[in-house]
Structure 1
Amino acid sequence: MKNIYCIGELLIDFVAENQGSDLSRATEFTKKAGGAPANVACAIAKLGGSSLFVGCVGADPFGQFLEDTLKKARVDIRHLQRTETFTTLAFVSLAEDGERDFVFSRGADRELKYTTEIKKGFKGNMVHLGAATSLLGGPLESAYGHFFFDALTEGAFISFDPNFRLDLWKNKETSFIKKCIPYIEKSKLCKFSLEEALLLSGETAMEAACKSLHEMGTEVIVITLGGEGTYLSTGNRQKVIPSISVNPVDTTGAGDAFIGCLLHQIAQQGHFLQLEKEFDLLSEMVYKANIAGALTTTQYGAIESLPDQEQINQAIQ
């Protein structure tokens, strides 16, 4: 089984549950551990996989809470960095259907520094780059690019999820697209929402978007479609893989649970260099990953809601 390095932000989600989508009117918030790459690392670990988190938190009580959360989830945190900058916060509103809106208060996550000691661990393993804040400048963006280059030179399996957040990129969408393209060109697997696929490709239809994104270089594309499932494309073959029906209360972390479950399954394969040629196998993996994502929406909070292998197996039956 391969090790999976998840690189990017670890932060506090302050969640306003069942108070509508207008954060200005919310009065009560619940503290949750969050950050897409950290969620993915926890999803992998909960399924029995080997995940290592690379990111930065503040030397404050919130940073300690986040460190303790990853330890409890059995994520390897040997590469977790700490800084005097305050831990990053995100304020999340939840509408009645579980859909979300975000406002970020950036802090320690941007202070991640590149270190050469991680490079040797990439060889023959997997690297997931899925940070919403990773391309916003500062030390984090520089470190992100260096780790990406190291993963390429070491022959790692690279997964990329742009995790577009309008609050972070409003009126800067062109810059976001430009910065994402090198990752799309070189990653083996890319996960997008439909909004992201259309934005990054410049197309208006999903099929055309996939064609354009494949032409950039990525070999396997998964586009999550909520309750409808996931559109899987390998260039030569495409298919919508269905999900299961659930009553969602909080969609936070659903995409992270999905990609975590998919990466965990890929890591169990003896090889992954020709994965794009095994469409039927990929379809089975995506179906299971859809279930992981769906189950995550049935409870509040991303990490607390991540399913284990037994829960996924029960849902399949």
Structure 2
Amino acid sequence: MKKVFCIGELLIDFVAENQGKDLSKAKEFSKKAGGAPANVACAISKLGGDSFFVGAVGDDPFGTFLLRILENEKVDISLAQKCDTFTTLAFVSIDEDGERDFVFSRGADKELTYDSSLKSKFENSILHFGAATALLGGTLEETYSRYLFDGLTKNAFISFDPNYRVDLWKNKEDVFIRKCHSFIEKSHLCKFSLEEAQLLSGKENLEDACKFFHEMGTQIIVVTLGSEGTLLSTSNFYKTIPSIKVTPKDTTGAGDAFIGCLLQQLAENSKIEDVLENEYLLSNMVARANKAGAITTENFGAIESLPTVQLLDS
């Protein structure tokens, strides 16, 4: 089984209690572990995969709490860093449809520094880049790019999720698009939401968007469409894979559960390139990942809602 390195942010989500989407009306918050790459690492581990988290937290009680959560989920945290900057925080509200509103207070995640010793560990592995905060500057952005280069030189399979957050890129969407393109063109697999696919391609039509991304260089494109399932596109086929029916309570982490489940399945294959040519196998992998994402929405909180193998197989 291939090792999966999840690179990016780990943070505290303070989730508003007993109110709708308007954060200004929130009075009580619950503390949750968050950060898309960390969620993906936990999803992989819960499904029996071998995942590593690469990111930075503060040397403070929140950072300790976060690393303990990952360790309890059997994610390898030996490559995580602690720094003097306070742990990154996000304040989240959820409306009646399970949709979220975010406000970030950025801290330690931006301080991740490059570790040259990781290059040898990336040999024939999978590298997943979750970009919610990684392209906002700080040493994290430079480190992020260097690890991408290291992964490519070590024959790693590259996965990229832009994790677009409107509040982080107001009036700077063109910068976000430009920075994402440099990762899309070098990635083997890209996972987008509908909004991300349209924004980053400049195309309203999804087939046109996928063609644009393939021409940039990415081989597998998955576009998550919520209850409608996931669009799967390769150079050989273009199809929508349906999902299961659920009543969502909280969509936090659904996309992370999806990509984590898909990467865990890919990690089980010694020759991922063979999977790319197998429509039946890849379609079944996406269907299983759809189920993982859907199950995650049935409860509150990302990590605690991620499914196990037993739950997926039931």
Q: Alignment identity in percent?
A: 64
Contact residue 17 and residue 27 of structure 2 kept, 8 A: no
Counterpart-to-counterpart distance in 2, 1:240 and 1:87? 39
Counterpart-to-counterpart distance in 2, 1:145 and 1:275? 27
TM superposition score normalised by structure 1? 0.98
Contact residue 58 and residue 82 of structure 1 kept, 8 A: yes
In structure 2, the partner of 1:81 is 81
How much is the aligned-residue C-alpha RMSD, in angstroms?
0.7
In structure 1, the partner of 2:243 is 243
**Structure 1 residue 270, shift from structure 2 partner:** 2.1
Tell me whether 1:233 sits opposite 2:214 in the alignment. no
Report the secondary structure of 1:41's partner residue: helix
Contact residue 42 and residue 73 of structure 1 kept, 8 A: yes
CA 1:17 to 1:247, structure 2 compared with 1: closer, same or farther past 3 Å?
Answer: farther
Tell me whether 1:170 sits opposite 2:170 in the alignment. yes
Q: 2:269 is matched by which residue type in structure 1?
A: Q
Q: 2:291 is matched by which residue type in structure 1?
A: I
> What are the superposed Cα offsets for residues 1-51 of structure 1, whole Å, 9 maximum, x if unpaired?
000000000000001144111101111111000000000000000001000
> What are the superposed Cα offsets for residues 225-251 of structure 1, whole Å, 9 maximum, x if unpaired?
001100000022111101001111000
Counterpart-to-counterpart distance in 1, 2:150 and 2:279? 28
Report the secondary structure of 1:293's partner residue: helix
CA 1:198 to 1:188, structure 2 compared with 1: closer, same or farther past 3 Å?
Answer: same
Counterpart-to-counterpart distance in 1, 2:146 and 2:233? 28
In structure 2, the partner of 1:66 is 66
Unaligned runs of 5+ in 1: none
- Provide runs of 4+ in structure 1 moved above 6 Å: none
TM superposition score normalised by structure 2? 0.99
Counterpart-to-counterpart distance in 2, 1:91 and 1:128? 25
> What are the superposed Cα offsets for residues 204-229 of structure 1, whole Å, 9 maximum, x if unpaired?
11111111111110000000000110
Counterpart-to-counterpart distance in 2, 1:71 and 1:190? 27
Number of matched residues? 314
CA 1:247 to 1:17, structure 2 compared with 1: closer, same or farther past 3 Å?
Answer: farther
> What are the superposed Cα offsets for residues 256-291 of structure 1, whole Å, 9 maximum, x if unpaired?
000000000000012112432112111000000000
Tell me whether 1:295 sits opposite 2:309 in the alignment. no
Counterpart-to-counterpart distance in 1, 2:236 and 2:17? 43
Tell me whether 1:113 sits opposite 2:113 in the alignment. yes
Counterpart-to-counterpart distance in 1, 2:127 and 2:29? 33
Counterpart-to-counterpart distance in 1, 2:210 and 2:106? 32
Counterpart-to-counterpart distance in 1, 2:159 and 2:170? 25
In structure 1, the partner of 2:262 is 262
Tell me whether 1:39 sits opposite 2:2 in the alignment. no
Q: How does 1:1-317 map to 2 (within 5 A)?
A: 1-314=1-314
Counterpart-to-counterpart distance in 2, 1:110 and 1:85? 9
Counterpart-to-counterpart distance in 2, 1:262 and 1:108? 29
Report the secondary structure of 1:186's partner residue: coil
Contact residue 18 and residue 96 of structure 1 kept, 8 A: no
Unaligned runs of 5+ in 2: none
Q: 1:146 is matched by which residue type in structure 2?
A: R
Counterpart-to-counterpart distance in 2, 1:150 and 1:257? 26
